[in-house]
Amino acid sequence: SRFETCWPALMKDSHGVIIVFNPELPSHLKEIEMWYSCFVQQQPLLDSQCLLIAHHKPGSAGDTENLSLAYPLNKLKLIHSNLEDDPEDVRMEFIKYFRSIITLINESREREEMSIIS
């Protein structure tokens, strides 16, 4: 894509990746594999640092139960969102995700500090 030249700048020092996609578009399901490969695997980030959000448009069928993603995407945390439902669940999942990222950052900082001291 025309933005690929910007990707290294976007990825630099990133601690987490959130991929939002429309599960009703087959092209999106193929694209998220590429995003995962570029932004998570090649960095490399842990799978726990990646969050997938399947965003359902208002009025769409929104079959949230049967979205089965292929390996390696099926290892990632997946949440479903749409604007018609109560967004509280999505908000709670976001908070959990951010907390896990902050914990990871703090742990790696502590490891760095310990390695400097020792």
What is the per-residue pLDDT for 13? 85
What is the per-residue pLDDT for 45? 93
β-bridge mates for residue 55, sequence order: 81
What is the per-residue pLDDT for 89? 86
User: Is residue 4 scored above 90 in pLDDT?
Assistant: no
What is the per-residue pLDDT for 63? 58
What is the per-residue pLDDT for 9? 83
What are 16-65's pLDDT values in tens digits? Answer: 999 999 998 888 888 999 999 999 998 889 999 999 999 988 777 655 56
What are 62-101's pLDDT values in tens digits? Answer: 555 668 888 999 999 999 988 777 788 889 999 999 999 9
What is the per-residue pLDDT for 40? 93
Q: Is-cis flag, bond preceding 8, omega within 30?
A: no
What is the per-residue pLDDT for 118? 75
C-alpha–C-alpha distance, residues 69 and 67, integer Å: 6
